[in-house]
Amino acid sequence: MQEIDPHVASRAEPPGCTIVAPEVHVRCVGEQSDEIDPSVVAAKWDEIAAIVTLMMERVGDPNDFQASLGSSLSGDDKASSPYQVSHAVRMCLVAGVDHLAAVRALLLELGKLHNAAPFSLVRGALENLSAAFWILHPTFRDARIERALRWHAKNFKDSHKALKPIGKSTEAGREARLAKLDKIAIPRGISTKTVRGAYFSSDVVAYVEEHSARSDPLLSWNFCSGYAHGRPWAYLGYSEQEHFETTDPDVLNVKLTTDPGRLLYPTLEAVHLLTDVVELLLQRSQRR
């Protein structure tokens, strides 16, 4: 764990009510983080902190991100009730922003930079924001409803998997919940097989990689997942290394650390994706 000088990585005040994701040329896996000027890294973290602070305020405001009557999202919600499209999107947005806020708190408020934990947090942000984008992005209503229903099916299946071993969920209960999704899907000609198949985060992130205007999250999500699962390819490929000899000439002890520059790259991808999600959400929420 690395201690960060809070005067170098300071928190900035939030801007107005719009989000403009910061741009910076950053290195990919295998390049050295010292190729980025530390002052540029600190400035970009200030910009990210301001955006995350603003978004924490916005997602905490029950009157923000409301679907206006006559908007596409309002129509989606009416057609998908009680599993409203906007509810799924809002949950993903809140979860994504909350993960980014935890990264901000660790790095900029506590001044502590763990080697793996912040990448796991960024992974959570990328997964949730990718799901929000994936649900909102299609032009046609039935496609958005289908994806929201698949999101709910995933929730039901995950809940059952977690709670069945302790006797808090049954096959009959899970089937009853999935059947409620069928009742929304069938009248609209949406495949119940597709809905019940839920979705995989890898497919959703790959979809965003193809369709997002600002973010290319797939590489970042993959190596952040590597950190989350303790995969050597991610740790050894992206961390700063310090080698120590051992009594075995064929074995080295390796100290692995990270720095704000290395963490900046995936975090920027998450912030760029956040910008896309907010833009799409506002577009779908406004009356045409």
Give the predicted TM-score (pTM) of the model: 0.87
Identify which of 244, 221, 243 has the alpha carbon closest to the alpha carbon of residue 234: 221
What's the pLDDT score for residue 38? 87
The distance in angstroms from the start CA to the end CA of the chain is 51
- Provide block-wise average pLDDT over 10 residues at a time, the chain (288 residues): 37 35 40 66 95 96 92 97 97 98 95 93 98 98 98 97 96 97 98 98 98 94 96 91 91 90 95 97 91
Question: Judging by beta carbons within 10 Å of its beta carbon (0-12, 13-18, 19+), is residue 140 exposed, middle or buried?
Answer: exposed
pLDDT at residue 35 in the model: 63
3-state secondary structure of 18: coil
Scan for tokens 């956040």, then name that residue: 274
Instruction: Say which residue the tokens 């790959």 belong to.
Output: 206
Our count of domains for the chain comes to: 1
User: What one-letter code names the amino acid at 278?
Assistant: V
Rg (CA), the chain: 21
Residue 223, CA distances (Å) to 62, 117, 206, 229 in order: 35, 13, 14, 10
Containing domain of residue 143, as a range? 2-285
CA angle 223, 227, 230 (to 5 degrees): 125
pLDDT of residue 266: 96
User: For position 4, what pLDDT does the model report?
Assistant: 38
DSSP label at residue 33: G
Assign 70 to helix, strand or coil: coil
What confidence score (pLDDT) does residue 17 get?
A: 36
